[in-house]
Copies of this chain bind each other. A is one copy, B any other.
Amino acid sequence: MDNFRVGVGLWCVSFAADRFLPTGYRAKKTVKEQIELVSKIEGAESVDLHTSDFIGIRPKEILKIVHDNGLRVNAVNANIFGDPLFKYGAFTNTDKKIQRKAIDLSKESIDMAREMGASISSLWPGQDGFDYYFQNDYYYQWDSTVSAMKEVSDYAPDMKIGYEYKPKEPRMFSLISNAAKAVLLANEVDAENFGVTLDYGHALFAHENPSESLCLINRANKLLNIHFNDAYGNWDDDLIAGSVNIWSNLEFFWYLKKTEYNGFITLDMFPYREDPFHACRVAIEMIKKFEEIVDRLDDTAIKTLQKQNDAARILEILMKEVLR
Contacts and interface: CB of A to CB of B under 8 A. Distances in A.
A315 B270 contact: no
Interface residues of A, number: 107
Interface string A237-266: 101101111111011001100000000000
Nearest to A93: B309
A134 B247 contact: yes
A191 interface: no
Number of copies: 4
Given A24-B22, A239-B172, A311 B209 contact: no
A30 interface: no
B94 A212 contact: no
A187 B274 CA distance: 34
Interface stretch (A38-46, A64-72, A109-117, A300-308): A300-308
A83 B25 CA distance: 8
A138 B285 contact: no
Interface string A274-318: 110011011001100100010000000011001111111111101
B184 A323 contact: no
Contact of A309 (B88, B138, B286): B88
